[in-house]
Amino acid sequence: MTSASHSRPSPALPVAVLGAGITGLTAAWRLRRAGIPVAVFEASGRCGGAIETVREGGWLLESGPNSLLEGTAEASDLIEAVGLGSRRLYAGEAAKHRYVLKRGRMEPMPASPAQFLGTRLFSWRAKLGLACEVFRPRGRLSGDETLAEFTVRRLGREFLDYAVDPFVGGVYAGDPARLSVRHAFPKLFALERDHRSLILGGIKLRNSSGGPRGRILSFPEGLEELPRALADQLGGAIRLGTRVLALERGESGWSVAFERAGDTHLEAFSAVICALPADQLARLRLGGFATPGAFSPLSEIEHPPVASVFTGFRRGDVAHALDGFGVLVPRAEGRNILGTLFSSSLFPGRAPAGHVALTTFVGGTRQSALARLDDGALIKLVQAELAALLGAREAPVLVRVRRHARAIPQYAVGFDRYKAIFAAAEASAPGLYIGGNCRDGISVSACVASGCRLAQAVAALFAPSPVAF
């Protein structure tokens, strides 16, 4: 990459925001609120990215994320600021249990010391071993350790198999033997780095914060209410069906080449925020600040396929009480699904009266081929799993399949390479800012925080003092 001295960008030109997922929308909305004009480019015909909600009569289907953990100030403040504060819908009491499958039985994940002592998820040997975690030495802070190695070293094999592995399958659709603890779970890494012990660090953080923070929430019409509210307030600043082709850095700012309705256009901007998926970033042509193909390696970030299968049943046709968030399935159980959310237990309004809604996930890095089955085979597979695990013996009254060919970026060992590409591009090109789920974390809350970070950085270009959002 090359570096050059450039004049300060002119705030008279708008800021280009590439991508209208939750990161790009948050960044654009924050900048507009600070009085900085924006233009949001989105190649598809809708806003929201992976967040997509569909209403079919009394059924409500989430095609992507099903909830948001309100554990950051950025997410909480944004919900209030866009006018959705009164529409918060918190997970109900019916969703208090989080089940994990072990030896074919659904066992609730313990939520208290007393429950931990009584749980059948872990043997007494594993429980006693956990007590020794406070005495274990801190690991090497250099290098890049897998989450599996980290877990076995600090907690033991049982906790890897029946706590960490199912959690990673549910969140990342990933493999703890490949994910980097430093990059995929930085808070866990920081606990050992800063406090030596995970248990001692967790106690210190809980005491300093006054207790656990964050609640799981959605909205009456689903999680897409948030990106819809942002998009409504951004209005004409959003350009749907517009694919960015190239970025070029010049003496007076940025040129963005884009395609719309078959025609190619070129437009000037004061700064550029990239909130695109990694594969789209990899295809951008770059000029004036980077060598050709500087972003190409980003296409190598693994995004395993995941299929989401929504099934609606009559309440009497499912034997299980569905008194929980859902069930996660460890690799060790040898099943064909990653897990199932009890969608209608999690939030009201997801199923008609007398019915229940379930959302089952298939594929990921564990069994990627299963996510590519045709609809008939995939539905048959899911029905068999739900019959075995939940006693769903009758056919569902509603089935919908949603496929994500490239679902969730995997922050694998060696992810430093990609972070170095982002950092080098920004360092060589003042006015370029990169964020989103390929850099700042995969959760909805992390993407909202990423959008806030990007907006703050851009606003600092034009304001002599920090802008208060």
Among residues 295, 246, 233, 238, the alpha carbon closest in space to that of 272 is found at: 246
- 85-99, 342-356, 403-417: least confidently modelled range: 85-99
Per-residue confidence band for 5, with pLDDT thresholds at 50, 70 and 90: very low
pLDDT of residue 208: 60
Write down the CATH number for the domain with range 122-209.
1.10.3110.10
Mention every residue, 6+ apart, whose C-beta is less than 8 A from residue 99: 106, 107, 108, 109, 324, 325, 326, 327, 328
pLDDT of residue 56: 96
Look at residue 402 and tell me whether its pLDDT is greater than 90.
yes
Look at residue 10 and tell me whether its pLDDT is greater than 60.
no
List the domain boundaries for the chain: 15-50+222-301+411-462, 53-93+302-404, 122-209
Among residues 32, 16, 89, 101, the alpha carbon closest in space to that of 326 is found at: 101
Q: pLDDT averaged over the chain?
A: 92
Distance of CA 142 to the CA centre of its chain: 27
Look at residue 468 and tell me whether its pLDDT is greater than 80.
no
pLDDT of residue 140: 81
Residue 357 tokens, joined: 């809604």
pLDDT of residue 467: 55
The answer regarding whether domain 53-93+302-404 maps to CATH 3.40.50.720 reads: no
pLDDT of residue 96: 79
Higher per-residue pLDDT: 464 or 267 = 267
SS (H, E, C) 100-134: EEECCEEEECCCCHHHHHHCCCCCHHHHHHHHHHH
| Segment 324-375, tens digit of pLDDT | 999 999 999 999 999 999 999 999 999 999 999 999 999 999 999 999 999 9
Q: In whole angstroms, what is the distance from residue 299 CA to residue 279 CA?
A: 5
* CA Rg value for the chain: 23
Per cent of the chain over pLDDT 70 is 95
CATH class as words, domain 15-50+222-301+411-462: alpha beta
Higher per-residue pLDDT: 416 or 71 = 416
